[in-house]
Chain A
Amino acid sequence: MGERTLNALRPGEAAHVVDLDRLHPLRRRLLELGFVRGARVTVVRRAPMGDPVELRVGGTDLALRAADLLGIRVRE
């Protein structure tokens, strides 16, 4: 499968980071938390109202809003 944004993944699916949008508002912080090229990201679950989305990268669990997932491109 080709490249998608992280938003396209369903809970339980995992993929590898390709890149972050240069204008992503959290770009710097996401890099520091491990969203570097090749890092494996799992979508754990969505919050009860569909947003935000819980992600796991490395050993860290964090949540981003769906809108902020659009700027994260992933592969596989």
Chain B
Amino acid sequence: MTATVPSNTMPPVSAPSRLPDEAACLQTVARLKAAHEPRVVVVGNPNTGKTTLINAVAGTNLKVGNWAGVTVEKREARLTVQGRPLLLDLPGAYSLSPHTPEELITRTALLDEAPDVILNVLDAGNLERNLYLTLQLMDFHVPVAVALNLVDEAREKGLTVDAPALARVLGVPVIETVASKGQGTGKLLSTALGGATLGIGVRYPQAIEAAAADLTARMAELPTLPPHAHRYLALALLEGDPSVRGRLSATGHLPLIDAADAHLAALDADGIDALIEIAEARYARAGDLARVAVPRAEARRTLSERLDRLALHPLLGIPIFLALVLLVFRLTFSVASPFVDLIGGPLQTTLAGWAAAALAWFPLGRDLVVGAIIPGVGTVLSFLPTLLVLYLAMSFLEDSGYMARAAFLMDRIMRGLGLDGRAFIPLILGFGCNVPAVSATRTLERRSDRVVVSMILPFMSCSARLPVYVVFAAALFPRAGSWIVWSMYILGMAVTFAFAWALRRTSFPAEGGGVLLELPPYRFPAWRVLWKHAWRRTASFAKRARTTVLATVAGVWLLLALPAVAGGKFATVAPQDSVFGRVSEAVSPIFAPLGFGNWQATGALVPGFIAKEVVVGTLGQIYLGEQAAAPAPLSLWAGVQGAVTATWDTIKTSVSAIPTVLALPSLSTDTTADQKTPLAQALAAAFTPAAGLAYLVFVLLYTPCIVTVGAIAQEHGRRIAWLTVAYQMGIAWGMGFLTYQVARLWL
């Protein structure tokens, strides 16, 4: 729909293929509109505290990010007045000539919504650039009200902010706000709804105003074009905005485009470049307005500048970045792992004991609950502490503005892959969980970048794979366990980069076009917002994982229990004679060259395709089958006592682990080398070290989970998703084969 329309007066423009299908955006807007019937749309530059402001006004649970483009999914603000929804939060935009999917959504919503009021949020510390958007908004025939936000930050910078003066010269109400402290947010809505006016927009140079007047006169005869947008559309045509041209040509307004081209040719003949004249006219007025609103501007070295001297230091910058990443992962594991153990161990055992006692009269139900449902739920729950801590740390880095610095630091490295520094962030998120990482690729501008990053990032070892490494490392490499775990992460990264390189040279060559990274000022994120944000992400993971993991564990249990042996006794069949065992047996020769061609090892990989979380659980079910099914029944009181004691010990362990996070990382302390669990003993007996290593490599590289595949399909279509699955299996097998054959020579 947004095909480029050739023009003899415009220089080649960046390909609109970067942007998603406009039809998709229209659908999004239609969906939002159906959901909210918004009357006020909230528009502002990225990083103006817009979402925090809406949060303060509407009190809804919205995501706030201080990394340009962090609002990956649309957040919906709900504020009802007399039962009617009122506010629609639009993604951050620098201008209404869209360059990013977010900006396209914002622009499309403004065109199609015909909102009653535009509430424009400005960063008081960066007025000139923010007012550029304000002036563009005033080209719409819609009343505007302004929230002058981040006033506190501007004062810290040494700026004097005069909101009444700005209101006078802009001709619209201006309310000073400090959204993070809730200042000024109270009267914002009443002012926005009651006092919003059309304001005093830009007078463009005479030749451009004449051309725009002619175009708007033509539009007046076209009922298909929204009247509130005529002037905006005319100016966008004169600016040569490719998305507006594409939209108008797709909706059959070719005469209008021809007329615009004729004007552009005439202007060009007079030596007038309309794009530049329009931008200059807006900036001239924005500059004048800013000088009135901020009469005194002392240059004061800001905290951001001081922090950046360290964070972006020529020698220290990258080591600091790597140390921070390491710190995040150490924090995640040392703070969260005691809770993981608690959920997977004492709590689960206690619960299983009670369930076994309560269901003693109904053996089949007892076996299902104790053997499948409790372990299944336990698997999902035991992931939540890790994810919560990881998401908290990631949200902190995003919301504080550090992620943008990471993109700046890593850009040169990513350039070799035809990517830019921003692509590093989904890759890092991939260490936590591939699913949010795939969603985070939406922040990349070019489609080929989004596809390449989505296809490579499953090789980044997500936290669900770690338990497999830990169990095998403890079982087979008790003295080098940490190094084995570490090398899995490194191997995953190496394959990620190698594969990106290969994809670039074959299927997805890098698109041209410049790279622009914004470096927003550092902000200390509000803990409440961080917590909400991390909690929401964790909960959405739990929701998504719950069904698949539970179904998988129950399914494996069922397949292990079938067929019923003679006499109708259910769940008494030996594992190797079960349906599960026989199917795994049939498939297992494929893995013989990798050293683990037996049904048990192969069997555990099958549910791993659905979720890596369950590989260890399935190994346990297979190797220790009967043990899990017969927990000792406990009295209620003993169970509660045990659980409380265990929880208290866990909290103590977790809290006392915090200081050790800051200690130098030592690779020899984290795995439990001394005491071997029953599973570790079983694995040590079943795998040679070389086969174990090959198994780990295979687990690292094959499809991480069905949820990730689903996320890729959602972002890029099924074809890409299945392609990803196919080559991951191929690479996993190949690398596993190589590992086994090489490792056999030494181990």
Q: Residues of A at under 8 Å CB distance from B?
A: 19, 22-34, 36-37, 39, 45-52, 54, 58-65, 67-68
Contacts and interface: CB of A to CB of B under 8 A. Distances in A.
Interface stretch (B32-40, B127-135, B138-146, B560-568): B127-135
Given A34-B283, A62-B517, A47 B409 contact: yes
B645 interface: no
A47 B411 contact: yes
A46 to B, nearest CB: 8
Contacts of B318: 48
A23 B411 contact: no
Contacts of A36: 276, 279-280, 283
Contacts of B315: 48
A27 B315 CA distance: 32
B128 A68 contact: no
Contacts of A62: 516-519
B252 interface: no
Nearest to B240: A28
Contacts of B312: 45, 47-48, 54
Contacts of B126: 58-60
A58 B421 CA distance: 24
A32 B518 CA distance: 13
A59 B594 CA distance: 58
Given A32-B97, A61-B519, A65-B515, A48 B317 contact: yes
Contacts of A65: 411, 415, 514-515
A46 B94 CA distance: 24
B13 interface: yes
Nearest to B513: A25
Given A52-B517, A62-B517, A32 B411 contact: no
B659 interface: no
B412 to A, nearest CB: 4
Interface centre among B128, B304, B313 (most CB of A within 10 A): B128
B128 A34 contact: yes
A25 B14 contact: yes
A29 B515 CA distance: 11
B83 interface: no
Contacts of A51: 411-412, 415
Contacts of B223: none
A32 B413 CA distance: 28
B518 to A, nearest CB: 5
A33 to B, nearest CB: 6
B11 A27 contact: yes
B515 A32 contact: no
Given A25-B514, A33-B129, A34-B132, A63 B276 contact: no
A24 B514 contact: yes
B271 interface: no
Interface string B572-615: 00000000000000000000000000000000000000000000
Contacts of A64: 514-517
- Top 6 nearest A-B pairs (CB, nearest first) are A59-B126, A49-B412, A26-B514, A31-B279, A25-B514, A68-B514
B94 A52 contact: no
Contact of A63 (B304, B313, B411): B411
Given A47-B408, A50-B412, 11 more contacts: A26-B514, A27-B11, A29-B94, A39-B283, A47-B317, A52-B421, A58-B129, A59-B128, A61-B519, A61-B520, A65-B515
Contact of A32 (B95, B408, B517): B95
B275 interface: yes
A50 to B, nearest CB: 7
Contacts, number: 119
A43 to B, nearest CB: 13
A28 B275 contact: yes
Most central of B283, B304, B315, B409 by chain A CB within 10 Å? B283
Given A22-B11, A59-B129, A29 B283 contact: no
Contact of A28 (B97, B308, B411, B521): B97
Contacts of A23: 11-12
Contacts of A34: 128-129, 132, 283
A22 B10 CA distance: 9
B279 A49 contact: no
18 contacts: A24-B514, A25-B512, A25-B513, A28-B275, A32-B94, A33-B94, A34-B129, A34-B283, A46-B314, A47-B312, A51-B411, A58-B128, A59-B127, A59-B129, A60-B129, A62-B516, A62-B517, A63-B516
A6 B435 CA distance: 40
Interface in B495-522: 512-521
Nearest to B123: A59
Contacts of B479: none
A40 B108 CA distance: 33
A17 to B, nearest CB: 11
B125 interface: yes
B99 interface: yes
A29 B415 CA distance: 21
Contacts of A28: 13-14, 97, 99, 239, 275
Contacts of A68: 514-516
Given A25-B512, A54-B312, A37 B132 contact: no
Contacts of B413: 49
A4 B611 CA distance: 57
Contacts of B314: 45-46, 48
A68 to B, nearest CB: 4
Contacts of B13: 28
Nearest to B521: A61
Nearest to A62: B518
Nearest to A57: B129
A37 B280 CA distance: 7
Contacts of B521: 61
A24 B95 CA distance: 18
B99 A29 contact: yes
B11 A32 contact: no
A33 B312 CA distance: 23
A59 B518 CA distance: 12
A63 B283 CA distance: 21
Contacts of A30: 516
A72 to B, nearest CB: 11
B11 A37 contact: no
A51 B126 CA distance: 26
Interface in B85-144: 94-95, 97, 99, 125-129, 132
Interface string B294-331: 00000000001000100011110110000000000000
A28 B382 CA distance: 49
A63 B408 contact: yes
Contacts of B513: 25-26
Given A23-B11, A48-B409, A62-B519, A31 B276 contact: yes
Contacts of B129: 33-34, 58-60
A47 B413 CA distance: 11
The residue among B14, B94, B279 with the most chain A CB atoms within 10 A of its own CB is: B279
Nearest to A30: B516
